[in-house]
Structure 1
Amino acid sequence: MHWLGKYHVQEYVSGIPPLALNPEPGEKVVDMCAAPGSKTTQISTLMDNIGEILANDIQRNRIRSLLSNISRLGCVNVQVFERDGRNLPEEPKFDKVLVDAPCSAEGNARKNSDLINGADIDVITKLSKLQENLLEKAFRLWKNGGTIVYSTCTFAPEENEIVVSKFLDYGKLEKPVFIFPIHPELQNGKT
């Protein structure tokens, strides 16, 4: 049934960013770091396959997985790009922007014993600069009044709270930006 596109396996927490994004049918959405595609395909499902999704990733080997998942799940409203997300063209503007940023993955410590004591600070520092740049680009891709969701699978404040704080100071933002708390209702087997 999995190969027929009847379901897609992902961790519970991976389903939260698309729910926070709350895409609607007919909207334009960009997933800046999309591979392997679990969030992209969830977004497409939430949009009833109506509208446009630009799914971007920089890594060619991960794009194969992205394309496979899009095809297997019948997501006909997705276009795939292979680019550094920091270099995406700034037109057209998007109603919704997802930045599920590359991170130190401390949230995966239960699967990777090297992360039990946290990630290397040099790795965190390098990634936080990339995350800042991706979030700044997301702002330039975003239509006023739309939604940007920034997410990681790490605990490091340098990759989360500090990145968002620096973004809020980014050039004294020419468009109004508000942070909203989310309270997703996750039920077993439902999004």
Structure 2
Amino acid sequence: MSLKAPQLKHLVEVITRMTAFDRPADAVLSAYFRENTKLGAQDRHLIAETAFACLRRHAMMSALCAPHPTSRKLALATLVRVRGMNLRELEDADLSKAELAWIAELKGKAPELDLAGQTELPAWVIERLGTDNEDDIRALAKGLMESAPLDLRVNTLKMKRDAVLESLRAGGFEAEPTPFSPIGIRMKGKPALNRHPLFLEGAFEIQDEGSQLLGLIIGARRGEMVVDFCAGAGGKTLLLGAQMASTGRLYAFDVSEKRLANLKPRLARSGLSNVHPQLIAHENDARIKRLAGKVDRVLVDAPCSGLGTLRRNPDLKFRQSPASVDRLSAMQASILESAARLVKVGGRLVYATCSVLPQENRAVVNAFLDAHPEFELVPMNTLLAEHKIALDTGNFLEMAPHKHNTDGFFAAALTRKA
């Protein structure tokens, strides 16, 4: 692989825009590719992989480029130190003599970094992880720096997992069953599947294995009334609908019209007829109050810092702060409080986030249980065993990239007692 001057120019521009940290990095990339339609698949791959690698290793790359880490230097440092390019591969990149000399020195440079720099996690995040064990912090950080695999969830309404696997392999794709989710497939590499006939027919969706487990532990059944309280673009909604075999009533609530609009094409592909998307103004909307005490199962996939998804969204560590996490945990408590009112006696409430911070996870659930003796915790290992999922994370579901090769997820299951 050799780098061409135009590729470097595009890469520098993308890194410049991403490191403004004023909007999500994937949105920056999508917008850039829409502006530059002549970029080929290989160019896009090189730009995307390198820009995200730069964000994942931003502390190290900045230290290597000190005292003046320009976007061009950051791009070159990432290409050489993270992506392993050598000087020969950079011959066509139109570099100056000074740049070539700097790159030659770069190979052996080892800047001194503190724990935050070494782990590529802000000091405030390390402080709030709730552990002083440096080995644990380093292991988690290393997992969050890896690139995430591509996982698919099979739509069991339309096809069995084995049939989808067989079809993908027959088409030349390398794919394996996911280790924990009974309805998941893990792809080798990152093939583009959004035009694959099985995707267009709704036989599978793209969904991280950890997220699939969250949907499964709800345990939605045929004929029940189920609410996905913060449905977003509906990945888990579709899983719940399939669990219900498209019977009963499944409400998909969200405060964002745009997110619910993104659910529409996915819903059409899925073949589900029991889903009712509903835009709500806030967690105490009148539409919610009408369902008080009537719902069998409620999923609260709460808005959170997203710090468990740094493999995919490395920019989040720069766009979140202690203050934003404090605001989020107050909002999470309020949403959980409101969602709990819907659950009928004997019904199940699942609270989940894609965060690795105890403040957004155990702390929210424990405070809720202290205030609501009518709810009790259902041990997560019991629920996972019911689904024949070979995983034991104790009372809570706590998934982590370095242990399970999923995003960082948390979930707690609660039952309303008589």
TM over 0.5: yes
User: Aligned equivalents of 2:284 and 2:269: distance in 1?
Assistant: 28
Point out which structure has higher relative CO (alpha carbons under 8 A, 6+ apart): 1
| Aligned counterpart, 1:165 | 366
RMSD of aligned alpha carbons: 1.8
CA contact (8 A) 1:56 1:85 kept: no
| Aligned counterpart, 1:151 | 352
| Aligned counterpart, 2:261 | 64
Q: Is 1:133 aligned with 2:334? A: yes
User: Aligned equivalents of 1:168 and 1:40: distance in 2?
Assistant: 26
CA contact (8 A) 1:86 1:133 kept: no
- Can you list the C-alpha shifts for 1:117-136, whole angstroms capped at 9, x where unaligned? 89411111111111101111
The structure-2 alpha-carbon separation of the partners of 1:91 and 1:5, relative to structure 1 and needing over 3 Å to count, comes to same
The structure-2 alpha-carbon separation of the partners of 1:176 and 1:108, relative to structure 1 and needing over 3 Å to count, comes to closer
Question: Residue 263 of structure 2: SS of its match in structure 1?
Answer: helix
Question: Residue 212 of structure 2: SS of its match in structure 1?
Answer: helix
User: Aligned equivalents of 1:41 and 1:12: distance in 2?
Assistant: 14
**Equivalent of 1:80, from 255, 265, 277?**
277
CA contact (8 A) 2:369 2:375 kept: no
**Equivalent of 1:124, from 322, 325, 332?**
325
Q: Is 1:13 aligned with 2:214? A: no
1:114 deviates by 2.9
User: Aligned equivalents of 1:121 and 1:26: distance in 2?
Assistant: 43
Question: Residue 325 of structure 2: SS of its match in structure 1?
Answer: helix
1:116 deviates by 5.0
**Amino acid across the alignment from 2:217:** A
User: Aligned equivalents of 1:26 and 1:7: distance in 2?
Assistant: 23
Q: Which has the higher helix share?
A: 2
Q: Percent of counterpart pairs with the same letter?
A: 34
1:74 deviates by 1.3
| Aligned counterpart, 1:180 | 379
55-64 or 107-116, which deviates more = 107-116
List runs of 5+ in structure 2 lacking aligned partners.
1-197, 391-418
Q: Is 1:55 aligned with 2:256? A: no
List runs of 5+ in structure 1 lacking aligned partners.
187-191
Aligned length: 184
- Can you list the C-alpha shifts for 1:40-84, whole angstroms capped at 9, x where unaligned? 000000111111100011111111111221121011001010012
**Amino acid across the alignment from 1:85:** E
**Amino acid across the alignment from 2:290:** E
CA contact (8 A) 1:101 1:131 kept: yes
User: Aligned equivalents of 2:210 and 2:375: distance in 1?
Assistant: 28
| Aligned counterpart, 1:91 | 290
1:177 deviates by 2.3
**Amino acid across the alignment from 1:89:** I
Q: Is 1:100 aligned with 2:100? A: no
| Aligned counterpart, 2:200 | 3
**Equivalent of 2:315, from 111, 114, 135?**
114
User: Aligned equivalents of 2:317 and 2:255: distance in 1?
Assistant: 28
User: Aligned equivalents of 2:342 and 2:266: distance in 1?
Assistant: 25
1:37-56 matches, cutoff 5 A: 37-56=234-253
CA contact (8 A) 1:5 1:74 kept: yes
1:11 deviates by 0.6
| Aligned counterpart, 1:34 | 231
**Amino acid across the alignment from 2:212:** G
- Can you list the C-alpha shifts for 1:10-36, whole angstroms capped at 9, x where unaligned? 011111111110001010000011021
- Structure with higher Rg: it is 2
Q: TM-score, normalised by structure 2?
A: 0.42
Question: Residue 112 of structure 1: SS of its match in structure 2?
Answer: coil
User: Aligned equivalents of 2:284 and 2:378: distance in 1?
Assistant: 22
